[in-house]
Amino acid sequence: MNCLDTDTRAKVIRCLIEGCSIRATVRMTGVAKNTIAKLLEDIGCACAHYHNRHVRNLRVRRLQCDEIWCFVGAKAKNTHYDKKAEGWGDIWTWVGIDADTKLVVGYLVGGRDAGWAMEFMQDCADRIKGRVQVSTDGHRAYFSAVEGAFGMDVDYAMIQKIYGASSEHETRYSPATCIGCDIKVVSGNPDPKHVSTSFVERQNLTMRMGMRRFTRLTNGFSKKADNHRHAVALHYMYYNFCRVHQTLRVTPAMEAGIASRVWTVEELCELLPKPTVSASTIDRDLLRKALGETA
């Protein structure tokens, strides 16, 4: 089977990580839609596998966790039960970020109930060594998840934002004003100065700006849950290893000590199998060469 060469792969991946939809990438690169979808699947699986193997044994002092909403196919309230069985409806991305190095320690795409929270927090705990301070929002699922994953070896606090009453002139696109925050210590002795979810919420904004699938009020949303997961894996791999953080002046992976250089998109493509040429193409090339020599 024919494969795209490394340069073409890099062009397609650059388009995807810069917020272009698949159809826009088709128009910009000339690569077929199905080929781009297959490349997204391959690079997404490769990025998830690399992250799972190498983002481990981290020294994290402050971990901020949050979840970001999106949907596949249609919002849950507009999705028929037949489509829900195919993965349509609301989908959440759980993410934990190191407040010091800005490294995305762990992420998980799925639902928002206690089971998903436990799986996500356990994954973060398995990647961190030593005692850590954890900050989350007021989502109830975090209570048992953090305790189940970290046990007593954690300083954990929740921060709940308090919003003022909405005026009659505000619309649904203009949220109420935040008038304060309520901090609740759950376990250990967390430092109140560092109980915050600001960095992880800013990272969520980066993801919404960097992936067309997360852009609100557009038709660029994911149509398949698997493609959504692949796009998330590609985004976090690029964010950790390829993108230079403006305040750090290096990538988060370099700041965390798990990378020694800034990765290029071409190096990201090296996670994929090497491009191959089909036998039929080789036969045609040999035939042309033979005809040219006899002529």
**pLDDT by position in tens, the chain (length 295):** 457 899 999 999 999 999 898 999 999 999 999 999 999 999 999 999 999 999 999 999 999 999 999 999 999 999 988 888 888 999 999 999 999 999 999 999 999 999 999 999 999 999 999 999 999 999 999 999 999 999 999 999 999 877 777 665 555 656 677 777 788 999 999 999 999 999 999 999 999 998 889 988 888 899 999 999 999 999 999 999 999 999 999 999 999 999 999 999 999 999 998 766 555 555 666 666 666 655 4
| DSSP-assigned states of every residue in the chain | -----HHHHHHHHHHHHTT--HHHHHHHH---HHHHHHHHHHHHHHHHHHHHHHS-SB--SEEEEEEEEEEESS-GGG--HHHHTTT-EEEEEEEEEETTT--EEEEEEE--SHHHHHHHHHHHHHHB-S-EEEEE-S-THHHHHHHHHHTTSEEEEEEEEEEPPPPTT--TTSPPPEEEEEEEEEES---GGG---HHHHHHHHHHHHH-GGG-TTSS-SBSSHHHHHHHHHHHHHHHHHTSPPTTTSS-HHHHHTS-SSPPPHHHHHTTSPPP---HHHHHHHHHHHHHHHH-
Q: What domains sit in the chain, N to C, each tagged with a CATH number? A: 46-165+172-261 (3.30.420.10)
